Structure 1
Amino acid sequence: MLGANHPHTLLTRQSLAGILSEQGRDGEAADEFRSVLASRIEVLGPDHPDTLNTRHNLAILLLKRGSYGEAADEYQSVLAAQIEALGPSHPNTLITRENLAIVLWKQGRRGEAADELRLALATRIEVLGPDHPDTLNTRHNLATLLLDRGSYGEAADEYQSVLVDLMEALGPNHPNTLRTRYSLATVYWNQGRRGEAADEYRSVLAARIEVLGPDHPDTLNTRHNLASVLSEQGRYGEAADELRSVLAAQIEALGPNHLTTVSTRRAIDLLAQRIATDDPRPTKQP
């Protein structure tokens, strides 16, 4: 018998918590993570790598559940311990810093989130170089935060810079490249550059159909945003055609009563009403 607090037992219990989370049983998963965490603090100490790993996993679950305050507390605690034990440039420390930035972002603390991302980015550039995939991902996340803050000029500059490096490193049709191109199109839309936005969305759509298939959620989101831009341009027939294509795919994949399907059906109804009044006001997809 190994006992309840044996490292192998705790590892198994942590794995169980992860499985519970994957099954959507988040409350049970959180209880299990907290129980494992208490045991690891007692047996290994609060700063042991295994203890910090459990705290990090608990924070991820809290973020998933929308418990942003608790998640932020856990990430900040883990980050402080990792900086002390591993140093500020260790990969695990950087992952925690970026996850903390996401929580702060979710809380509406965008300035603090941007500060954390910029710190992570500066470190990744120094350690990995500006073109490393992890560095490019951090740059993309920072640009997305700038977009969310309404800093469209800065966001466009950052996305364009990232895009050049992604095209060179991964090619034009890699999912990460397409993600950045989609986001850049969204910036153009927010800047009122509808022609450029529509062109970029069309290009991304063609690539996503080829790479991901016509019914992939990312493909459908691209079509939805393209339809909204077309509506703003007064191209109502094309917009309606795109939305109907999205709706048909969603009914097939998700069913007629799924929230996403219902939302698209509502968008079609609203577009019809606004065509009648010549007052189109589309809604962006994330």
Structure 2
Amino acid sequence: MNDSWGRFRSDLRSLKEAAGMSYREIGDAAKERDACLPRSTVSDLLGKADKRAGKECTGLLAHLVAVLLANTAQDHPSAAPWRDRAAWQRRWEALDDRDRADATPPKATGTEGLFGWDGALAKPGRGGDTEVAWLGDRRTSRMAAVISELAALGMYRQACDVAWELQRCVEGTRGTQDPGSLPVRHVVAFWTGAAGDPYTARELTARLLADCREALGEEHPFSRLAVLRLAAWTAAAGDPAEGRRLYRELTRDGSDDRIALLARLGGARAALRVGEADEAGDQLSRLLPDLVAEYGEHHPVVMGARITETNSYWRDTRCAACSRVRLEDLVADATDRLGGAHPLTLRARALHARLVFADGDRRLALELAEEAYRESVRVRGADHPDSLYAGNILGLTLAAADVLAATEMLRSLHERAGKALGPEHHRTLAIGHNLAVVTHHSDPRTARLLYEEVRDARIRVLGAEHPHTLLTRLALAYAVLGLDGPDAARPLIEEVHRARVRVFGSGHPDVERTQKLLRIAAQPPPALPAGGSSER
């Protein structure tokens, strides 16, 4: 018998009947689990309509099932379809996939998005050959359309593979030195970076920028696009300060096109990466109305900007509960409109797991982190920067349940990140910091050495007063407190405290934490507190 949303909802209503709970009782039970299930939401999930039950299977629907199961007898027949969470989630996903397959396919995009999913050159023609004139035959035109479709699906690795083949075809006809080959080099460089190799993308784009300026001039759209992309890959490769300078170069030229808008967005992200969360948040609050006006409310560019805004808000305020609520809506929206395996959705899911963990729900955080990491590895590959980010969050959440398993996982991630991104890339250093944190539980002396390595590298790469550097310096001071005593640790803690006051202001939560540690330093050292991640 074919499954349907009607049957799915009917099984859910049967579980509610078996639990014998009213809507109010369900809401009260959810609050005891630190969840929020409004009556309108529960009513919608239990409705009789033959449509999807909820926006996703890991959010409010999962909370409802957990509440009902907790109040239903173990052997009740109505509980059987819901005991295995993975099984009913696969059922939900299969129904959702069927809906998407049956939906009317979107209008063909042609070559829209060929130069990047952000649509930086969505209004072509200003440079003559900007869009399709350089696609000389039916085969290359179809390959360009394939890249655009793969981009819309979030299949960036596959788009990169086709882009390289497109370059071979175009250069085979035009030659490598023909200015008509510049557009396809843009395509290859962008999708190389999007597929997870910012270093090669940066090298390709740097050469491309020089050639575009020589052949077309500095003001040509392709030259300006090359500056935009060079800024992005420079920041992604571990030099956000230089990336920020390149973004500013674009925002100061007086243009008001998409390239200028995206440069403002990139500049805000670079500000966040160099540790200026408040500045990033201010820039994004001013920028978002312009992005919505240009792209529309639900374009991936706008969704990505809102995710960055939420991350900035959290880093600036440390209010995990508020940030978590913001991000849950964004994850649901991205899942609904882009799909659960889209790269943007995957990044949001990983950050969501981190915020849930920071908000104190460690069991749910571990489930979310496992799902996000598994999907990221499947879609993007194990060594993609986004997969390493998701893995780092999984290692952090896993440590709350199994320190040894977390240590092994983070050690493996650290080795992979060092090979894929380099030993001083910010992703590698973040994983190294968390590896030191979990190692501290069993081997404080080794952890101290790891902290010192990460501290020294972060000072070189980020600066002595970057928030991540200060976090590692504080963790090192805590290790010194346990190994060498308060007299040795107190000067280190005081240095971090003064630096945090300069960077954050006296009322910031991180300053309050150093004040607390200063008080602890006057007493025998307590047990190591949980957490300590730099991936915030």
TM over 0.5: yes
Look up the match of 2:338: 82
Residue of structure 2 in register with 1:185 after alignment:
436
Corresponding residue for 1:138? 390
How far 1:104 sits from its partner (Å)? Answer: 4.0
Matched residues in 2 for 1:56 and 1:192: separation? 39
Percent of pairs identical after alignment? 22
For residues 262 and 271 of structure 1, what CA distance do their matches in structure 2 show? 14
- CA displacement 1:151-187 (0-9 Å, x = unmatched): 2122111100101111222332322222111111110
1:245 to 491, 495, 506: 495
**Match of residue 346 from structure 2:** 94
Partner of 1:44: none
**Could you list the runs of 5+ residues in structure 2 that have no partner in the other structure?**
1-122, 124-257, 269-277, 315-321
Shift of 1:256: 7.9
1:222 corresponds, among 453, 462, 472, to: 472
Letter in 2 for 1:203: E
1:76 counterpart letter in structure 2: A
- Structure 1 equivalent of residue 526 of structure 2: 281
Structure with the higher fraction of residues in helix conformation: 1
Structure 1 residue 62, shift from structure 2 partner: 5.9
Contact 2:477 2:489 in 1 (8 A): yes
Residue aligning to 2:328: 72
Letter in 1 for 2:525: P
- Cα 1:269–1:25 change in 2 (3 A) is same
Hey, what does 1:213 align to over in structure 2?
463
Decide whether the 8 Å contact of 2:323 with 2:355 is kept in 1.
no
| Alignment check: 8 A CA contact 2:465 2:503 kept | no
Alpha carbons 1:97, 1:120 under 8 Å: kept: yes
**Deviation digits for residues 37-77 of structure 1, max 9, x if unmatched?**
xx958xxxxxxx52x65466556656737153354134224
Q: Against the structure 1 CA distance between its residues 134 and 239, is the aligned structure 2 distance closer, same or farther, given a 3 Å change threshold? A: same
The alignment status of 1:157 with 2:402, answered yes or no, reads no
Q: Distance in 1 between matches of 2:310 and 2:382?
A: 32
The whole-number CA distance in structure 2 between the counterparts of 1:206 and 1:242 is 14
Q: Which moved more, 1:61-70 or 1:136-145?
A: 61-70
Choose the corresponding residue for 2:375, options 99, 114, 123. Answer: 123
* Cα deviation, residue 271, structure 1: 1.8
**Which residue type is aligned with residue 123 of structure 1?**
E
Which amino acid is the alignment partner of residue 73 of structure 1? D
8 Å contact 2:280–2:309 — kept in the other structure? no
Note if contact 1:185-1:198 (Cα within 8 Å) is conserved in structure 2: yes
Gapped regions of structure 1 (runs ≥ 5): 1-7, 42-48
Say if 2:353 and 2:393, in contact at 8 Å, map to a contact too.
no
Q: C-alpha deviations, 1:97-117, integer Å up to 9, x for none?
A: 334434544554444443343
TM-score scaled by length of structure 2 = 0.40
Contact 1:146 1:155 in 2 (8 A): yes
Distance 2:329 2:378 in 1: 28
1:13-92 to 2 correspondence within 5 Å? 22=280, 24=282, 50=299, 54=302, 57-58=305-306, 61=309, 64=313, 66=322, 68-69=324-325, 71-83=327-339, 88-92=340-344
Moved more, 70-79 or 225-234: 70-79
**Conserved 8 A contact 1:68-1:106:** no
Question: What is the match of residue 451 of structure 2?
Answer: 201
- Contact 2:464 2:470 (8 Å CA) reproduced: yes
Structure 2 distance, partners of 1:255, 1:123, is: 36
Q: CA 1:153/1:216 → structure 2, altered by over 3 Å: closer, same or farther?
A: same
State the structure with more CA Rg: 2
The 2-side partners of 1:27 and 1:174 are apart by 29
Distance 1:268-1:71 versus aligned 2 partners, 3 A rule: closer
Distance 1:231 1:152 in 2: 21
For 1:166, the aligned partner's letter is A
**Is the deviation greater in 21-30 or in 208-217?**
21-30
* RMSD, aligned α-carbons: 4.1
Contact 2:307 2:348 in 1 (8 A): no
- Distance change >3 Å, CA 100–CA 234, structure 1 → 2: closer
1:267 paired residue number: 517
Aligned partner of 1:174 among 415, 425, 431:
425
